[in-house]
Structure 1
Amino acid sequence: MSKDMTNPVLGILGVGYFASYFTSSLRKGGYKGKIYLSPRNAQTAERISKEHRCLVAQDNQDVIDKSDIILLSIRPEQLPGLLEKLSFRDNQIVITAVAGKTIADHYAVAGHLPQTLIRMIPVCSIEAGEGVVPIYPPNPEVEKIADFTGTPISFDSEHDFDLALTTSCMNGWLYEFFGTMTDWLEEKGLSQDQARNVILHNIRGATAYALQKKDQKLADITGEIATEGTFTLEGLNLLKKQNGFTAWDQALEHVHKKLTE
């Protein structure tokens, strides 16, 4: 355990894809604290420890004993079995990246968890130094950790956190969308690299431009570009006619319902 809370010791229970991109983003962002990994997924733990300067603990309890902050990065169905025999210190912070489980759900499974239990599930793009890190409830120490990885946004209610988490699923949908457009360009004759760069840098430019216009509604930006007589408006009207945007709303509603049932 460290007394230096500028670089607290972080322990991770559940070593898989999430732990891999989270530790990578922490190190790239300049986090210098010790990181202890659960040894259960031995091959992945060994790889992450070598790539991102982490330490593999003896067992799950050893992770907790050596850490200031513990991150739970497991699937929801694994939560009861993981927490059943573990003991925490009252002054520790537990961050949970368990999707679909409320704070109350965690205490129902393990009442012995510390008082400070924080939900935080960042998107995989934090490995590139970009992306939202939703946090509930607000906590300065967790926000400091998150700041190494992306853009932390704290919420005062679990309802708002779940809304943000729903939109995080959008990343996977966007890659499929980008892929569809690059495939179209390739079919029309562009090389794979050209198609990829055209699409991704167009998207990157669009988001950078929108972030710059922070006081303007996004729909108003569209209105400035898709004016009468433009090809942009031609395509936009076709997308609306084909319910292209309604489908996204439906997907968000469906995922939100699943997350909060």
Structure 2
Amino acid sequence: MSRIGFIGTGHIAAPIARLLARKGHEIFVTERNASVSAALKAEINATVSDPQSVIDQSEIVFLCLRPQIAAEVLGPLTFGSEHRIVSVMAAVSEEELRSLCAPAADFVQTIPLGFLEQGGCPMAAYGNDQLLADLLAPENPVVKVASEASLNAHFAICAMVPGILDLLATGSEWLADQTGDADGAEFYTTQLMAGFLATMNKGQAGRLAAERDALATDGTLSLQMTQALQTDKAHQALRDALTAIGKRLET
């Protein structure tokens, strides 16, 4: 088992720390978010320390800071060549990480979402993907990517999740307006989507389109829905948003 530290303790770091603690690792966290770090101390016996102490006590260090403060927080800290680094910070490049964490040279950059604690969260990995797999698989599948550009594209797709949730919330609200039952409407909407996706074969390109076409046949309500979304340029809006996010991650 390893000694694992977290620089930055928030909504991404906490579920990772809990999962790793269940796997038997020793956890060290900073007090950047006092309420979260206190909860982790109570829940998983995490050691709460200042950032340099966390680094000094750890073999593997997760960097879970907001990108805009990464240089400010990491700049004064000292890493060792023995440290292995996992960065979950969007738009902080490999070049910047190597500069901020020198002489550490063993890196992996990835994109976790909070539900990884329950498993089933795909982890795009640029760099030492085996390090990530050793820590978080098999509960969460690790998907190796070949470049930072590919990693950033996966970051953009992750941003699609709240967009889809926003659409589901609108649909649920519409259903509640029709039925007068907001709780039932949200339960039905979420279970409908979760149940359908759970039945799909994983990892087959074209499967999403094939499932769409199997439902949206001539004269069906499903075809009316897909045609309306195409006509109102919802798909183009999604592509435009993903492209804009991708460009933002390049800067």
Does the 8 Å CA contact 1:143/1:152 hold for their aligned counterparts?
yes
Preserved contact between residue 25 and residue 148 of structure 1 (Cα < 8 Å): no
For 2:155 and 2:195, locate their aligned partners in 1 and report how far apart those are by CA, in whole Å. 24
Name the CA distance, whole Å, in 2 between partners of 1:11 and 1:213: 33
- Higher deviation after alignment, 148-157 or 237-246: 148-157
Match of 2:3 in 1: 9
- Structure 1 segment 167-178 matched on structure 2, within 5 A: 167-178=157-168
Task: Report if the CA contact (8 A) 1:95-1:118 is conserved.
Answer: yes
1:253 and 2:243 correspond: yes
Partner of 2:217, secondary structure, is: coil
Which position in structure 2 is the counterpart of 1:198?
Answer: 188
Q: Which amino acid aligns with 1:98?
A: M
Deviation at 1:190, TM superposition (A): 4.7
**Partner of 1:68 in structure 2?**
59
Distance 1:215 1:43, change over 3 A: closer
**1:238 aligned residue:** 228
1:33 is matched with which residue: 6, 9, 25?
A: 25
Residues 209 and 106 from structure 1, CA distance in 2 versus in 1: closer, same or farther, beyond 3 angstroms? same
SS at match of 2:201: helix
Give the unaligned 5+ runs of structure 1.
Answer: 1-6
Q: CA deviation at 1:249?
A: 0.9
With 69-78 and 140-149 compared, the bigger mean Cα shift is at 140-149
Distance across 2 between alignment mates of 1:251 and 1:215: 22
- TM-score normalized with structure 1 length: 0.88
Matched residues, percent identical?
21
Determine whether 1:134 maps to 2:128.
no
Q: Take 2:237 and 2:149, find their aligned partners in 1: how far apart are those partners? A: 23
C-alpha separation in 2, matches of 1:72 and 1:55: 16
* Structure-2 separation of matches of 1:215 and 1:18: 29
Q: Name the TM-score, length of structure 2 as normaliser.
A: 0.91
Q: How does 1:206-217 map to 2 (within 5 A)?
A: 206-211=196-201, 214=204, 216-217=206-207
Extract structure 1 runs of 4+ deviating beyond 4 A. none
Structure 2: 5+ residue stretches without partners:
none
Paired amino acid for 2:7: L
Say which SS state the counterpart of residue 89 (structure 1) adopts. coil
Matches within 5 A, 1:116-131: 116-131=106-121
Alpha-carbon spacing, 1:72–1:156, altered in 2? closer, same or farther (3 Å): same
Report the alpha carbon displacement of residue 212 of structure 1 after superposing the two structures with TM: 5.0
Would you say how many aligned residue pairs link Structure 1 and Structure 2? 251
Contact 1:134 1:164 in 2 (8 A): yes
Q: What residue number does 1:54 align with?
A: 46
Residue type at the aligned position of 1:51? E
Q: Matched residues in 2 for 1:128 and 1:192: separation?
A: 27
Contact 1:138 1:156 in 2 (8 A): no
The code of the aligned residue for 1:72 comes to L
Contact 1:31 1:148 in 2 (8 A): no
Q: Deviations over 1:111-170 (max 9, x none)?
A: 624011211221223244232222111431222212266232121211111111110111
2:13 corresponding residue in structure 1: 19
CA displacement at 1:74 relative to structure 2? 0.6
Distance change (3 Å), C-alpha of 1:211 and 1:49 = farther
